[in-house]
Amino acid sequence: MTHTEAETALTVRVDLPAGASTIGYDIVIGAGILHTLGALLTAHAPAPHYGMVSDARVAGLYGDRVTAAVRSTGAQVDLVRFPGGERSKTRETWAALTDALLGHGLGRDGCLIALGGGVTTDLAGFVAATFMRGIPCVQVPTSLLAQIDASIGGKTGVDTPAGKNLVGAFLHPRLVVIDPLVLATLPDAELRSGLAEAVKHAAIADAEYLDLILRDAPRLLEREVHALTRVIVRSVRIKAAVVARDPAELGERATLNFGHTIAHAVERVTAYAVPHGFAVAMGMVVEARLGELMGLTPRGTADRIRAALSALGLPVGLPADLTADAILAAAATDKKARAGRVRFALLAEPGRAARAPHGGWTFDAAPDLVRAALTRASL
């Protein structure tokens, strides 16, 4: 896309097979389009009453503006808030938000708007999925990670004491509205965390995009709007295409977990002290190396990913105090482990996910190879 195009809205369509919870939805991207949210809702998700869920920080920054835009549809709008952060992504917060919306009289003909980062899109999505057995949800992601990842694909959920996202549902949104201008207020660590997922998209689907990210890294870190919009559009297209081919995560969608088996283990071992995207950055280096050790991925792939991550100021080595054994043990209890075996999404080459011989998209790996990949990564 050119700089001129970035000034206007661009739509990416997620087509879903008939019979899925919706027959597809639009992802509308454009600098400043938050102001046109009312018209977008009227066109894509009309309702007499909108509930809106936001954390305290985002509600303070954008709550009034977005509420006014929604109210311009003529509908009733009720904003409910929760304390921000992953610690709030619980069944208790979900119950409190549900009760607050019931208290406002939101009904089965209502629609829920999620305004915020990944915690909000996951949490509000789960509220919508379970509110009177499901009402439509519109995602208005305000973090880069939520814009290019969490808000697209219908995965909703909350954490339990036993782990992340162990309770949830699939609910494809009715509409996703992405305004790159809101990234101006995003904390720096969250911006870089989101860029790690952009690198992931490039790594599994588009080598040329990997080069673009490396080249644009300084402009991305300076939050240059055109550079950010380019990344959002390319990442959204990649994610939307994968989701459309596999809406219920039965196959190819596993490729989006590249880097994530190790990332989840790192997050669990560190009690989530490491931001998600940072853990994904470390995980991608380890898992690219694992692919190399398995003879599946060409040598040099891990280094190429590492270069892009480094340019973005992302960590590429594991924290020195983490042992390979601790990470391996944590990985074995991941919810994607089947019958106790750890699975990895790996690369065939930079820009292409590897397909398993049996036709699936994930691989078993011998613990010794995982240990070797982990050990080299921490050097």
Site track for its own copies across 325-364, x = CB under 8 A: ----------xxxxx-------------------------
Q: Which is nearer to its own copies, 278 or 344 (CB)?
A: 344
Return the closest-CA partner of residue 117 out of 171, 189, 69: 189
Between the alpha carbon of residue 241 and those of residues 159, 185, 272, 299, the distances in Å are 27, 29, 30, 28
Query: Which one, 51 or 157, has the nearer CB to its own copies?
Result: 157
74 lies in the binding site for its own copies (CB under 8 A): no
Binding range to its own copies, per CB under 8 A, among 5-13, 124-132, 223-231, 369-377: 124-132
56 binding its own copies? (CB under 8 A): no
Q: Is 276 a catalytic residue?
A: yes
Q: Which parts of 35-54 interact with its own copies (CB under 8 A)?
A: 48
Q: Measured between alpha carbons, how far is residue 234 from residues 29, 122, 150, 237, 272 in Å?
A: 11, 22, 15, 5, 29
Segment contacting its own copies by CB under 8 A, of 38-46, 52-60, 167-175, 368-376: 167-175
**Cα–Cα–Cα angle for 200, 281, 335, nearest 5°?**
80
Run of H or E residues at 4: helix 3-6
Catalytic residue among 237, 253, 268, 306: 253
Can you tell me which of 166, 273, 329, 332 binds its own copies, judged by CB under 8 A? 166
Q: Tokens in use for 143?
A: 């973090």
Among 64, 109, 188, 325, binds its own copies (CB under 8 A): 109
Report d(CA 150, CA 146) in Å as an integer: 4
Q: Report the alpha-carbon distance of residue 194 to residue 205 in Å, rounded.
A: 17
Q: Give yes or no for residue 17 binding its own copies (CB under 8 A).
A: yes
* Catalytic residue chosen out of the listed positions 201, 237, 260, 304: 260
Residue among 9, 56, 167, 244 that touches its own copies (CB under 8 A): 167
Contacts to its own copies from residues 284-323, by CB under 8 A? none
**Which CB, 184 or 329, lies closer to its own copies?**
329
Q: How many CB atoms lie within 10 A of CB 57?
A: 18
Residue 111 · residue 47 · CB < 8 Å: yes
Cα–Cα distance measured from residue 379 to residue 376, given in angstroms and rounded to the nearest whole number: 5
200 is catalytic: no
Among 36, 42, 72, 165, binds its own copies (CB under 8 A): 165
Q: 109 or 224, CB closer to its own copies?
A: 109
Among 99, 208, 224, 325, contact with its own copies (rule: CB under 8 A): 99
Is 162 a binding residue for its own copies by CB under 8 A? The answer is yes
- Catalytic residue check, 253: yes
CA distance 68 to 63: 9
Respond yes or no: is residue 264 known to be catalytic: yes
Binding residues for its own copies, total number by CB under 8 A? 40
A 10 A CB-CB count for 337 gives 13
Residues of this chain, 231-260, that bind its own copies according to CB under 8 A? 249
Instruction: Confirm or reject binding of residue 157 to its own copies (CB under 8 A).
Output: yes
Cα 125 to Cα 137: distance, rounded to the nearest angstrom: 7
Which one of 75, 132, 244, 356 is in contact with its own copies (CB under 8 A)?
Answer: 132
The catalytic residue among 104, 249, 349, 376 is: 249
Q: Got the DSSP string for 286-347?
A: HHHHHHHHTTSS-TTHHHHHHHHHHHTT---S--TT--HHHHHHHHHT-TT-BTTB-EE--E
Which among 364, 271, 371, 282 is positioned nearest to 325, based on CA atoms?
Answer: 371
Query: Which one of 2, 4, 11, 18 is in contact with its own copies (CB under 8 A)?
Result: 18
108: exposed, middle or buried (Cβ count in 10 Å: 0-12, 13-18, 19+): exposed
Catalytic residues: 133, 155, 197, 239, 249, 253, 257, 260, 264, 276
By CB under 8 A, name the binding residues for its own copies.
17-20, 48, 91, 95, 98-99, 102-103, 107-109, 126, 129-134, 155-157, 160-163, 165-170, 249, 335-339
